[in-house]
């Protein structure tokens, strides 16, 4: 059993999802939440809040691996800058906590969960709920975080762990 922390970074709200992945391919829901950063009084404070929330969640749930979506495109430089800052704050925090980080492209996440890289966001969210036996609506950012965690579980969470030396930290071995 491997515990995976999925992160969907955002500068207003960051989605967090934690699952346990069986070696036989099944995954179990552990936790999800959408961390709101809007109560911070400045943008730097938001990044501090995000790091603080991740530290709290890591301490509480003790994930062993981290999965995060790659970002190849953003709608313009301004939104790329904001998204980038949230992503950087999250990456710095999990790497500092000693966790290996795996990155997955959005198309691969859709492919892994729905079977086609062109799937709609709602289809991905429905598959997340089905695979983790969740009832009711999941907040969208939290669902995206669970989706990337599931992609890592389907991909190489177990293979990765077996192959890596103890001092391994964050080298990318994601299927691309």
Chain residues in the site for a copy of itself (CB under 8 A) = 41-45, 47-48, 50-52, 55, 68, 71, 73-96, 101, 103, 169-172
Cβ neighbors of 116 (< 8 A, separation 6 or more) are 110
Could you list the active site residues? 8, 69, 141
Alpha helices in the chain (DSSP H): 43-61, 76-96, 106-114, 121-131, 140-155, 157-163
CB of 127 to a copy of itself, least distance (A): 26
Backbone phi, psi, residue 34, to 5°: -115, 115
What are the angstrom distances between the C-alpha of 11 and each of 33, 81, 91, 163?
15, 10, 13, 34
CB of 3 to a copy of itself, least distance (A): 18
CB of 5 to a copy of itself, least distance (A): 13
Nearer to a copy of itself, 82 or 175 (CB): 82
DSSP state of 38: T
Nearer to a copy of itself, 24 or 42 (CB): 42
Nearer to a copy of itself, 107 or 173 (CB): 173
């Amino acid at each position: 059993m491997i515990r995976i922390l999925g992160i969907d970074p955002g500068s207003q709200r960051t989605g967090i999802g934690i699952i346990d992945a069986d070696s036989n391919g099944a995954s179990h829901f552990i936790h999800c939440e959408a961390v709101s950063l809007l109560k911070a009084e400045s943008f730097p404070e938001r990044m501090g809040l995000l790091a603080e929330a991740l530290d709290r969640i890591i301490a509480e749930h003790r994930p062993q691996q981290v999965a995060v979506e790659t970002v190849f495109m953003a709608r313009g430089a301004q939104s790329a800058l904001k998204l980038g800052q949230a992503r950087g704050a999250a990456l710095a925090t999990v790497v500092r906590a000693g966790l290996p980080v795996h990155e997955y492209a959005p198309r691969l996440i859709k492919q892994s969960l729905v079977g086609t890289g062109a799937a709609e966001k709602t289809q991905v969210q429905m598959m997340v709920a089905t695979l983790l036996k969740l009832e009711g609506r999941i907040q969208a950012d939290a669902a995206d975080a669970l989706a990337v965690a599931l992609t890592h579980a389907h991909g190489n969470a177990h293979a990765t762990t077996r192959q890596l030396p103890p001092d391994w930290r964050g080298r990318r071995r994601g299927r691309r």
